[in-house]
Protein backbone atom coordinates (compact mmCIF):
# COMPACT_ATOMS: atom_id res chain seq x y z
CA UNK A 1 0.00 0.00 0.00
CA UNK A 2 1.16 3.54 -0.74
CA UNK A 3 2.54 5.65 2.09
CA UNK A 4 -0.33 8.15 2.21
CA UNK A 5 -2.76 5.32 3.05
CA UNK A 6 -0.89 4.76 6.32
CA UNK A 7 -0.79 8.52 7.00
CA UNK A 8 -4.56 8.82 6.48
CA UNK A 9 -5.14 5.75 8.66
CA UNK A 10 -3.01 7.23 11.45
CA UNK A 11 -4.85 10.59 11.25
CA UNK A 12 -8.24 8.82 11.32
CA UNK A 13 -7.15 6.80 14.37
CA UNK A 14 -5.97 9.94 16.18
CA UNK A 15 -9.26 11.73 15.48
CA UNK A 16 -11.29 8.71 16.60
CA UNK A 17 -9.31 8.47 19.85
CA UNK A 18 -10.03 12.14 20.58
CA UNK A 19 -13.75 11.61 19.90
CA UNK A 20 -13.72 8.72 22.42
CA UNK A 21 -12.18 11.08 24.98
CA UNK A 22 -14.73 13.84 24.35
CA UNK A 23 -17.97 11.87 24.03
CA UNK A 24 -17.29 8.79 26.18
CA UNK A 25 -14.83 10.31 28.68
CA UNK A 26 -12.23 7.69 27.76
CA UNK A 27 -8.78 7.83 29.32
CA UNK A 28 -6.23 8.57 26.60
CA UNK A 29 -2.66 7.23 26.46
CA UNK A 30 -0.03 8.20 23.86
CA UNK A 31 -2.73 10.06 21.85
CA UNK A 32 -3.91 6.77 20.28
CA UNK A 33 -4.86 4.32 23.02
CA UNK A 34 -8.23 4.96 24.67
CA UNK A 35 -9.72 3.09 27.62
CA UNK A 36 -13.52 3.26 27.77
CA UNK A 37 -14.81 2.16 31.15
CA UNK A 38 -18.35 1.70 32.43
CA UNK A 39 -19.23 1.44 36.11
CA UNK A 40 -22.87 0.57 35.41
CA UNK A 41 -21.90 -2.70 33.64
CA UNK A 42 -20.36 -3.90 36.93
CA UNK A 43 -23.88 -4.48 38.28
CA UNK A 44 -24.31 -7.25 35.70
CA UNK A 45 -21.57 -9.24 37.45
CA UNK A 46 -23.64 -9.45 40.64
CA UNK A 47 -26.59 -10.87 38.72
CA UNK A 48 -24.59 -13.92 37.61
CA UNK A 49 -25.52 -16.75 39.97
CA UNK A 50 -24.20 -20.24 40.80
CA UNK A 51 -21.13 -19.32 42.85
CA UNK A 52 -20.01 -22.94 43.34
CA UNK A 53 -19.94 -23.60 39.60
CA UNK A 54 -17.79 -20.55 38.79
CA UNK A 55 -15.40 -21.27 41.65
CA UNK A 56 -15.03 -24.89 40.59
CA UNK A 57 -14.37 -23.94 36.95
CA UNK A 58 -11.68 -21.49 38.06
CA UNK A 59 -10.16 -24.04 40.45
CA UNK A 60 -10.04 -26.67 37.72
CA UNK A 61 -8.37 -24.04 35.53
CA UNK A 62 -5.53 -23.85 38.06
CA UNK A 63 -4.99 -27.57 37.59
CA UNK A 64 -5.19 -27.24 33.79
CA UNK A 65 -2.73 -24.36 33.85
CA UNK A 66 -0.18 -25.85 36.24
CA UNK A 67 -0.84 -29.58 36.26
CA UNK A 68 0.17 -31.69 39.26
CA UNK A 69 2.07 -28.73 40.70
CA UNK A 70 -1.19 -26.75 40.78
CA UNK A 71 -3.15 -29.66 42.27
CA UNK A 72 -0.56 -30.24 44.97
CA UNK A 73 -0.37 -26.54 45.87
CA UNK A 74 -4.16 -26.35 46.28
CA UNK A 75 -4.39 -29.38 48.58
CA UNK A 76 -0.94 -29.18 50.24
CA UNK A 77 -2.09 -27.92 53.61
CA UNK A 78 -5.01 -30.36 53.67
CA UNK A 79 -2.60 -33.22 52.89
CA UNK A 80 -0.29 -32.14 55.69
CA UNK A 81 -3.28 -32.24 58.04
CA UNK A 82 -3.97 -35.78 56.70
CA UNK A 83 -7.50 -34.96 55.57
CA UNK A 84 -8.81 -38.02 53.74
CA UNK A 85 -10.80 -36.10 51.11
CA UNK A 86 -7.61 -34.30 49.99
CA UNK A 87 -5.93 -37.53 48.88
CA UNK A 88 -8.97 -38.61 46.88
CA UNK A 89 -9.24 -35.18 45.25
CA UNK A 90 -5.53 -35.18 44.33
CA UNK A 91 -5.85 -38.64 42.75
CA UNK A 92 -9.06 -37.72 40.91
CA UNK A 93 -7.78 -34.45 39.41
CA UNK A 94 -4.36 -35.97 38.67
CA UNK A 95 -6.05 -38.69 36.63
CA UNK A 96 -8.02 -36.10 34.64
CA UNK A 97 -4.91 -34.02 33.93
CA UNK A 98 -3.03 -37.17 32.87
CA UNK A 99 -5.80 -38.08 30.42
CA UNK A 100 -5.73 -34.55 28.93
CA UNK A 101 -1.93 -34.82 28.76
CA UNK A 102 -2.23 -38.10 26.82
CA UNK A 103 -4.43 -36.26 24.29
CA UNK A 104 -2.12 -33.25 23.93
CA UNK A 105 1.02 -35.40 23.94
CA UNK A 106 0.99 -35.66 20.14
CA UNK A 107 1.24 -31.89 19.66
CA UNK A 108 4.50 -30.16 18.83
CA UNK A 109 6.75 -33.21 18.80
CA UNK A 110 10.15 -32.69 17.11
CA UNK A 111 9.81 -36.18 15.70
CA UNK A 112 7.22 -38.89 16.15
CA UNK A 113 8.70 -41.15 18.78
CA UNK A 114 7.75 -42.73 22.09
CA UNK A 115 10.36 -40.60 23.87
CA UNK A 116 8.99 -37.28 22.52
CA UNK A 117 5.44 -38.31 23.33
CA UNK A 118 6.44 -39.35 26.86
CA UNK A 119 8.23 -36.02 27.46
CA UNK A 120 5.18 -34.08 26.27
CA UNK A 121 2.79 -36.04 28.48
CA UNK A 122 5.12 -35.80 31.50
CA UNK A 123 5.57 -32.02 31.18
CA UNK A 124 1.85 -31.47 30.73
CA UNK A 125 1.03 -33.67 33.71
CA UNK A 126 3.55 -31.99 35.99
CA UNK A 127 3.15 -28.35 34.91
CA UNK A 128 -0.02 -28.15 32.78
CA UNK A 129 -0.42 -25.67 29.96
CA UNK A 130 2.16 -23.33 31.57
CA UNK A 131 4.94 -25.88 31.22
CA UNK A 132 3.61 -27.24 27.93
CA UNK A 133 3.56 -23.76 26.38
CA UNK A 134 7.20 -23.14 27.29
CA UNK A 135 8.09 -26.64 26.03
CA UNK A 136 6.51 -25.90 22.63
CA UNK A 137 8.53 -22.69 22.39
CA UNK A 138 11.62 -24.74 23.24
CA UNK A 139 10.85 -27.26 20.50
CA UNK A 140 10.41 -24.50 17.93
CA UNK A 141 13.61 -22.78 19.11
CA UNK A 142 15.50 -26.05 18.58
CA UNK A 143 14.06 -26.45 15.07
CA UNK A 144 14.95 -22.85 14.16
CA UNK A 145 18.56 -23.29 15.30
CA UNK A 146 18.73 -26.63 13.51
CA UNK A 147 17.37 -24.96 10.38
CA UNK A 148 20.09 -22.28 10.43
CA UNK A 149 22.79 -24.96 10.66
CA UNK A 150 21.22 -26.88 7.75
CA UNK A 151 20.80 -23.72 5.68
CA UNK A 152 17.00 -23.76 5.91
CA UNK A 153 14.81 -20.71 6.48
CA UNK A 154 12.30 -21.50 9.20
CA UNK A 155 9.05 -19.80 10.14
CA UNK A 156 9.07 -17.62 13.27
CA UNK A 157 7.75 -19.33 16.39
CA UNK A 158 6.26 -16.04 17.56
CA UNK A 159 4.91 -13.17 15.49
CA UNK A 160 2.54 -10.22 15.87
CA UNK A 161 -1.02 -11.33 15.14
CA UNK A 162 -2.79 -8.45 13.40
CA UNK A 163 -6.03 -9.23 11.56
CA UNK A 164 -5.86 -8.22 7.93
CA UNK A 165 -2.08 -8.64 7.71
CA UNK A 166 -0.04 -11.69 6.76
CA UNK A 167 1.86 -13.20 9.69
CA UNK A 168 5.53 -12.46 8.94
CA UNK A 169 7.47 -15.38 7.52
CA UNK A 170 4.34 -17.39 6.64
CA UNK A 171 1.45 -17.46 4.17
CA UNK A 172 -1.11 -17.22 6.98
CA UNK A 173 -3.41 -14.25 7.11
CA UNK A 174 -6.15 -13.60 9.64
CA UNK A 175 -9.21 -12.08 7.92
CA UNK A 176 -9.65 -8.43 8.90
CA UNK A 177 -13.25 -8.17 10.13
CA UNK A 178 -13.56 -11.75 11.38
CA UNK A 179 -10.19 -11.44 13.16
CA UNK A 180 -10.97 -8.20 15.00
CA UNK A 181 -14.44 -9.44 15.96
CA UNK A 182 -12.94 -12.68 17.31
CA UNK A 183 -10.31 -10.77 19.32
CA UNK A 184 -12.91 -8.41 20.77
CA UNK A 185 -15.12 -11.32 21.86
CA UNK A 186 -12.15 -13.18 23.39
CA UNK A 187 -10.91 -10.15 25.32
CA UNK A 188 -14.37 -9.33 26.69
CA UNK A 189 -14.91 -12.96 27.76
CA UNK A 190 -11.47 -13.07 29.41
CA UNK A 191 -11.94 -9.92 31.46
CA UNK A 192 -15.58 -10.69 32.23
CA UNK A 193 -14.42 -13.95 33.82
CA UNK A 194 -11.97 -12.06 36.06
CA UNK A 195 -14.79 -9.73 37.10
CA UNK A 196 -17.21 -12.56 37.86
CA UNK A 197 -14.74 -14.36 40.14
CA UNK A 198 -13.74 -11.11 41.84
CA UNK A 199 -17.35 -10.58 42.86
CA UNK A 200 -17.72 -14.23 43.91
CA UNK A 201 -14.99 -13.71 46.53
CA UNK A 202 -16.52 -10.38 47.57
CA UNK A 203 -13.85 -8.16 45.98
CA UNK A 204 -15.19 -4.87 44.67
CA UNK A 205 -14.97 -4.29 40.90
CA UNK A 206 -14.65 -0.57 40.13
CA UNK A 207 -15.24 -0.70 36.39
CA UNK A 208 -15.28 -2.83 33.27
CA UNK A 209 -14.40 -1.72 29.76
CA UNK A 210 -12.50 -2.06 26.48
CA UNK A 211 -9.21 -0.68 25.19
CA UNK A 212 -8.87 0.73 21.66
CA UNK A 213 -5.90 1.57 19.47
CA UNK A 214 -7.56 4.24 17.38
CA UNK A 215 -10.73 2.40 16.39
CA UNK A 216 -9.19 -1.11 16.64
CA UNK A 217 -10.05 -3.11 19.80
CA UNK A 218 -6.80 -4.31 21.41
CA UNK A 219 -7.98 -5.30 24.86
CA UNK A 220 -10.57 -5.36 27.58
CA UNK A 221 -10.06 -4.75 31.27
CA UNK A 222 -11.61 -5.37 34.65
CA UNK A 223 -10.62 -2.96 37.40
CA UNK A 224 -10.92 -4.72 40.78
CA UNK A 225 -10.13 -2.99 44.05
CA UNK A 226 -6.39 -3.71 44.30
CA UNK A 227 -6.27 -3.44 48.09
CA UNK A 228 -9.16 -5.85 48.58
CA UNK A 229 -7.67 -8.33 46.12
CA UNK A 230 -4.26 -8.04 47.79
CA UNK A 231 -5.78 -8.74 51.21
CA UNK A 232 -7.92 -11.66 50.00
CA UNK A 233 -7.04 -15.25 50.89
CA UNK A 234 -4.36 -16.71 48.56
CA UNK A 235 -6.78 -19.35 47.21
CA UNK A 236 -9.42 -16.70 46.52
CA UNK A 237 -6.88 -14.57 44.66
CA UNK A 238 -5.83 -17.64 42.67
CA UNK A 239 -9.42 -18.14 41.57
CA UNK A 240 -9.63 -14.57 40.25
CA UNK A 241 -6.35 -14.78 38.31
CA UNK A 242 -7.18 -18.26 36.96
CA UNK A 243 -10.63 -17.26 35.72
CA UNK A 244 -9.49 -15.42 32.56
CA UNK A 245 -7.34 -18.08 30.87
CA UNK A 246 -9.60 -20.88 32.11
CA UNK A 247 -12.72 -19.41 30.56
CA UNK A 248 -10.73 -18.77 27.36
CA UNK A 249 -10.02 -22.51 27.10
CA UNK A 250 -13.59 -23.58 27.85
CA UNK A 251 -14.93 -20.88 25.54
CA UNK A 252 -12.63 -22.16 22.76
CA UNK A 253 -14.00 -25.68 23.26
CA UNK A 254 -17.61 -24.43 23.22
CA UNK A 255 -17.13 -22.38 20.03
CA UNK A 256 -15.31 -25.32 18.38
CA UNK A 257 -18.24 -27.67 19.12
CA UNK A 258 -20.78 -25.10 17.88
CA UNK A 259 -18.73 -24.52 14.73
CA UNK A 260 -18.61 -28.26 13.99
CA UNK A 261 -22.37 -28.49 14.54
CA UNK A 262 -23.12 -25.54 12.27
CA UNK A 263 -20.71 -26.84 9.62
CA UNK A 264 -22.31 -30.29 9.75
CA UNK A 265 -25.80 -28.80 9.50
CA UNK A 266 -24.96 -26.88 6.31
CA UNK A 267 -22.29 -29.26 4.94
CA UNK A 268 -24.22 -30.15 1.79
CA UNK A 269 -25.08 -26.53 0.99
CA UNK A 270 -21.49 -25.34 1.52
CA UNK A 271 -19.93 -28.25 -0.38
CA UNK A 272 -22.21 -27.74 -3.38
CA UNK A 273 -21.34 -24.06 -3.73
CA UNK A 274 -17.62 -24.66 -3.16
CA UNK A 275 -17.50 -27.32 -5.87
CA UNK A 276 -19.39 -25.11 -8.34
CA UNK A 277 -17.23 -22.05 -7.60
CA UNK A 278 -13.87 -23.80 -7.85
CA UNK A 279 -11.80 -23.07 -10.95
CA UNK A 280 -9.39 -25.95 -10.53
CA UNK A 281 -6.26 -26.90 -8.58
CA UNK A 282 -2.98 -25.25 -9.49
CA UNK A 283 0.62 -26.22 -8.83
CA UNK A 284 2.41 -23.08 -7.59
CA UNK A 285 5.70 -24.30 -6.12
CA UNK A 286 8.16 -27.21 -6.05
CA UNK A 287 9.53 -27.15 -2.51
CA UNK A 288 12.97 -28.24 -1.41
CA UNK A 289 11.54 -29.50 1.87
CA UNK A 290 8.17 -30.94 2.78
CA UNK A 291 5.90 -29.63 5.50
CA UNK A 292 5.35 -26.14 6.87
CA UNK A 293 8.27 -23.80 7.43
CA UNK A 294 10.81 -26.16 5.79
CA UNK A 295 10.56 -28.46 8.80
CA UNK A 296 9.91 -31.67 6.85
CA UNK A 297 12.21 -34.01 4.95
CA UNK A 298 14.17 -33.04 1.87
CA UNK A 299 11.86 -33.57 -1.06
CA UNK A 300 12.74 -35.97 -3.89
CA UNK A 301 10.71 -33.90 -6.36
CA UNK A 302 12.49 -30.56 -6.48
CA UNK A 303 13.70 -31.18 -10.05
CA UNK A 304 10.67 -33.12 -11.29
CA UNK A 305 9.73 -30.32 -13.71
CA UNK A 306 13.24 -29.75 -15.11
CA UNK A 307 12.34 -31.26 -18.54
CA UNK A 308 9.42 -28.82 -18.75
CA UNK A 309 11.68 -25.86 -17.84
CA UNK A 310 14.08 -26.93 -20.60
CA UNK A 311 11.23 -27.26 -23.10
CA UNK A 312 10.12 -23.71 -22.33
CA UNK A 313 13.72 -22.45 -22.13
CA UNK A 314 13.17 -21.11 -18.60
CA UNK A 315 13.95 -21.88 -14.97
CA UNK A 316 11.94 -22.73 -11.84
CA UNK A 317 11.49 -19.16 -10.54
CA UNK A 318 10.62 -17.67 -13.93
CA UNK A 319 8.21 -20.51 -14.70
CA UNK A 320 6.01 -20.06 -11.62
CA UNK A 321 5.95 -16.27 -12.09
CA UNK A 322 4.96 -16.34 -15.75
CA UNK A 323 3.07 -19.59 -16.24
CA UNK A 324 0.11 -21.30 -14.60
CA UNK A 325 0.10 -25.07 -14.07
CA UNK A 326 -3.42 -26.43 -13.63
CA UNK A 327 -3.55 -29.99 -12.28
CA UNK A 328 -5.79 -32.00 -14.60
CA UNK A 329 -5.30 -35.48 -13.19
CA UNK A 330 -3.52 -37.29 -10.38
CA UNK A 331 -2.77 -41.01 -10.75
CA UNK A 332 -5.20 -41.08 -13.70
CA UNK A 333 -8.07 -39.57 -11.68
CA UNK A 334 -9.62 -36.26 -12.76
CA UNK A 335 -8.89 -33.38 -10.35
CA UNK A 336 -11.31 -30.44 -10.21
CA UNK A 337 -10.83 -29.34 -6.59
CA UNK A 338 -8.78 -30.01 -3.45
CA UNK A 339 -11.11 -32.77 -2.29
CA UNK A 340 -10.43 -34.75 -5.49
CA UNK A 341 -6.69 -34.20 -5.08
CA UNK A 342 -6.64 -35.24 -1.41
CA UNK A 343 -8.79 -38.35 -1.92
CA UNK A 344 -6.54 -39.59 -4.72
CA UNK A 345 -3.33 -38.92 -2.80
CA UNK A 346 -4.66 -40.72 0.30
CA UNK A 347 -5.59 -43.69 -1.89
CA UNK A 348 -2.08 -43.74 -3.42
CA UNK A 349 -0.46 -43.72 0.03
CA UNK A 350 -2.87 -46.37 1.40
CA UNK A 351 -1.90 -48.67 -1.49
CA UNK A 352 1.81 -48.21 -0.68
CA UNK A 353 2.63 -46.75 -4.08
CA UNK A 354 6.04 -45.10 -4.32
CA UNK A 355 5.21 -42.73 -7.19
CA UNK A 356 2.21 -40.91 -8.63
CA UNK A 357 1.54 -39.67 -12.16
CA UNK A 358 0.57 -36.02 -12.55
CA UNK A 359 -0.99 -34.33 -15.60
CA UNK A 360 -0.94 -30.54 -15.83
CA UNK A 361 -2.10 -27.92 -18.32
CA UNK A 362 0.56 -25.20 -18.62
CA UNK A 363 -0.42 -21.72 -19.88
CA UNK A 364 1.43 -18.42 -20.02
CA UNK A 365 -0.09 -15.39 -18.26
CA UNK A 366 -1.73 -14.17 -21.48
CA UNK A 367 -3.05 -17.68 -22.24
CA UNK A 368 -1.54 -17.56 -25.73
CA UNK A 369 0.49 -20.74 -25.23
CA UNK A 370 -0.83 -24.03 -23.81
CA UNK A 371 1.10 -27.24 -23.14
CA UNK A 372 -0.10 -30.58 -21.76
CA UNK A 373 2.63 -32.07 -19.61
CA UNK A 374 2.86 -35.37 -17.72
CA UNK A 375 5.43 -36.12 -15.06
CA UNK A 376 6.03 -38.39 -12.07
CA UNK A 377 6.29 -37.40 -8.42
CA UNK A 378 7.84 -39.66 -5.80
CA UNK A 379 6.20 -40.13 -2.40
CA UNK A 380 8.55 -38.71 0.24
CA UNK A 381 9.32 -40.62 3.44
CA UNK A 382 6.76 -38.50 5.34
CA UNK A 383 4.03 -39.31 2.74
CA UNK A 384 4.26 -35.83 1.21
CA UNK A 385 4.91 -34.73 -2.38
CA UNK A 386 6.94 -31.62 -1.58
CA UNK A 387 4.73 -29.37 -3.69
CA UNK A 388 2.50 -26.40 -2.95
CA UNK A 389 -0.96 -26.16 -4.51
CA UNK A 390 -3.83 -23.65 -4.41
CA UNK A 391 -7.50 -24.01 -5.20
CA UNK A 392 -8.51 -21.19 -7.55
CA UNK A 393 -11.98 -19.62 -7.46
CA UNK A 394 -14.12 -18.45 -10.38
CA UNK A 395 -13.84 -14.67 -10.63
CA UNK A 396 -17.47 -13.81 -11.42
CA UNK A 397 -19.20 -16.55 -9.45
CA UNK A 398 -22.34 -15.39 -7.59
CA UNK A 399 -22.09 -16.92 -4.10
CA UNK A 400 -25.26 -15.32 -2.78
CA UNK A 401 -25.81 -13.44 0.48
CA UNK A 402 -26.62 -16.40 2.73
CA UNK A 403 -23.52 -18.37 1.72
CA UNK A 404 -21.27 -15.37 2.34
CA UNK A 405 -23.00 -14.70 5.67
CA UNK A 406 -22.59 -18.34 6.72
CA UNK A 407 -18.91 -18.34 5.74
CA UNK A 408 -18.43 -15.10 7.73
CA UNK A 409 -19.97 -16.71 10.83
CA UNK A 410 -17.96 -19.94 10.46
CA UNK A 411 -14.71 -18.05 9.80
CA UNK A 412 -15.30 -15.83 12.85
CA UNK A 413 -15.97 -18.95 14.94
CA UNK A 414 -12.85 -20.63 13.57
CA UNK A 415 -10.58 -17.74 14.55
CA UNK A 416 -12.43 -17.26 17.83
CA UNK A 417 -11.72 -20.79 19.05
CA UNK A 418 -8.13 -20.77 17.73
CA UNK A 419 -7.22 -17.38 19.22
CA UNK A 420 -9.14 -18.05 22.44
CA UNK A 421 -7.15 -21.24 22.97
CA UNK A 422 -3.87 -19.44 22.24
CA UNK A 423 -4.75 -16.55 24.59
CA UNK A 424 -5.68 -18.98 27.33
CA UNK A 425 -2.51 -21.05 26.97
CA UNK A 426 -0.26 -17.98 26.74
CA UNK A 427 -1.79 -16.36 29.83
CA UNK A 428 -0.92 -19.38 31.98
CA UNK A 429 2.81 -18.84 31.41
CA UNK A 430 4.18 -17.85 34.86
CA UNK A 431 5.55 -14.45 33.92
CA UNK A 432 4.10 -11.07 34.86
CA UNK A 433 2.03 -9.24 33.66
CA UNK A 434 0.37 -12.47 32.46
CA UNK A 435 -2.17 -14.13 34.77
CA UNK A 436 0.20 -17.05 35.30
CA UNK A 437 2.78 -14.61 36.65
CA UNK A 438 0.38 -13.61 39.43
CA UNK A 439 -0.71 -17.21 40.10
CA UNK A 440 2.71 -18.85 40.36
CA UNK A 441 3.98 -17.03 43.52
CA UNK A 442 0.67 -17.66 45.30
CA UNK A 443 0.94 -21.40 44.58
CA UNK A 444 4.60 -21.55 45.52
CA UNK A 445 3.99 -20.00 48.94
CA UNK A 446 1.66 -22.90 49.83
CA UNK A 447 4.72 -25.16 50.11
CA UNK A 448 6.70 -22.84 52.40
CA UNK A 449 6.72 -23.74 56.13
CA UNK A 450 4.87 -21.27 58.34
CA UNK A 451 8.14 -20.55 60.18
CA UNK A 452 9.86 -19.32 57.02
CA UNK A 453 10.44 -15.58 57.01
CA UNK A 454 8.69 -13.46 54.37
CA UNK A 455 12.01 -12.08 53.12
CA UNK A 456 13.32 -15.59 52.48
CA UNK A 457 10.07 -16.57 50.76
CA UNK A 458 10.32 -13.60 48.41
CA UNK A 459 13.96 -14.43 47.69
CA UNK A 460 13.16 -18.03 46.73
CA UNK A 461 10.23 -16.88 44.57
CA UNK A 462 12.44 -14.29 42.82
CA UNK A 463 15.16 -16.88 42.05
CA UNK A 464 12.67 -19.35 40.57
CA UNK A 465 10.72 -16.63 38.75
CA UNK A 466 13.83 -15.12 37.16
CA UNK A 467 15.01 -18.58 36.09
CA UNK A 468 11.69 -19.14 34.30
CA UNK A 469 11.82 -15.64 32.80
CA UNK A 470 15.36 -16.29 31.55
CA UNK A 471 14.40 -19.57 29.87
CA UNK A 472 11.24 -18.05 28.40
CA UNK A 473 13.02 -14.96 27.03
CA UNK A 474 15.78 -17.12 25.52
CA UNK A 475 13.21 -19.25 23.70
CA UNK A 476 11.25 -16.13 22.73
CA UNK A 477 14.27 -14.41 21.16
CA UNK A 478 15.23 -17.54 19.20
CA UNK A 479 11.65 -17.97 18.00
CA UNK A 480 11.62 -14.35 16.79
CA UNK A 481 14.92 -14.60 14.85
CA UNK A 482 13.30 -15.60 11.50
CA UNK A 483 11.39 -12.30 11.58
CA UNK A 484 14.69 -10.47 11.12
CA UNK A 485 17.21 -12.92 9.63
Q: Are residue 258 and residue 300 in the same domain, yes or no? A: no
In a domain, 148, yes or no: yes
Judge if 155 and 84 occupy the same domain. yes
Report whether pLDDT(201) > 60: yes
Does 318 have pLDDT greater than 50? yes
**In a domain? residue 272:** no
- Give yes or no: residues 195 and 123 share one domain: yes
Residue 337's CATH number: 2.30.42
Q: In this structure, are 452 and 336 located in the same domain? A: no
Q: Flag whether pLDDT at 119 surpasses 60.
A: yes
Alpha-carbon Rg for the chain, nearest whole angstrom, is: 27
Provide the mean pLDDT of the chain. 87
> Taking the C-alpha atoms of 264, 265, 266 and 272 in order, what is their torsion angle to the nearest 10 degrees?
60
Tell whether 98 and 244 lie within a shared domain: yes
For the chain, the domain total comes to 3
Number of continuous H segments (helices) and E segments (strands) in the chain: 15, 10
**pLDDT single digits (tens) 354-401:** 999 999 999 988 878 888 999 999 998 888 888 888 888 888 888 888
The answer to whether position 426 is within a domain reads yes
Domain end, chosen from 333, 367, 402, is at 402
**Does 207 map to a domain?**
yes
Of 361, 378, 402, the one marking the end of a domain is: 402
* Residues 397 and 422 grouped into a single domain: no
- Tell me: pLDDT of 2 over 60: no
* 437 found inside a domain: yes
Asked whether residue 475 is domain-assigned, the answer is: yes
**pLDDT > 70: percent of the chain:** 95
One domain for residues 162 and 221: yes
- Asked whether residue 269 is domain-assigned, the answer is no
Is 231 a domain residue?
yes
- pLDDT tens digit string along 419-470? 999 989 989 999 887 889 999 999 999 998 888 888 898 999 999 999 999 9
- 259 and 289 fall within a common domain: no
**Statement to judge: residues 79 and 205 lie in one domain:** yes
| Chosen domain end from 385, 402, 419 | 402
Total residue count of the chain as it appears in this document: 485
H or E element, residue 328: strand 323-330
> Does the N-terminal peptide bond of residue 433 adopt cis geometry, omega within 30 degrees of 0?
yes
**Residues sharing a CB contact under 8 Å with residue 428, sequence separation 6 or more, in sequence order:** 64, 65, 66, 128, 129, 130, 133, 245, 434, 435, 436, 439
Q: What is the pLDDT of residue 1?
A: 45
Which domain covers residue 363, as residue numbers?
A: 277-402
Between 39 and 333, the more confident residue is 333
Top pLDDT among 415 and 219 is at 415
Amino acid sequence: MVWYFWVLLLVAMLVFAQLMRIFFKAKLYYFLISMISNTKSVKILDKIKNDKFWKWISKFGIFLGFGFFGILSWYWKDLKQKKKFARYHVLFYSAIILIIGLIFGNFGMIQKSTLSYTINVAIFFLFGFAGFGILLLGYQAFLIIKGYFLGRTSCPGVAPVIPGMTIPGTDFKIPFFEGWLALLIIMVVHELAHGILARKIKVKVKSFGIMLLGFFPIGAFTEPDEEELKNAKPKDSLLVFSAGPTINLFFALLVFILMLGLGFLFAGYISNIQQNSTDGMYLVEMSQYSGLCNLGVESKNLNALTPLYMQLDTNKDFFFKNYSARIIALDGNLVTNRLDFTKTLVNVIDNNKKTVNVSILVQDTNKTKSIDHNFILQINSDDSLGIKTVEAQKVDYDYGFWYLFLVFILTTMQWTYLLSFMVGLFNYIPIKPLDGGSMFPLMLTQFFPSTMKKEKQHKVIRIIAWTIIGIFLLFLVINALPLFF
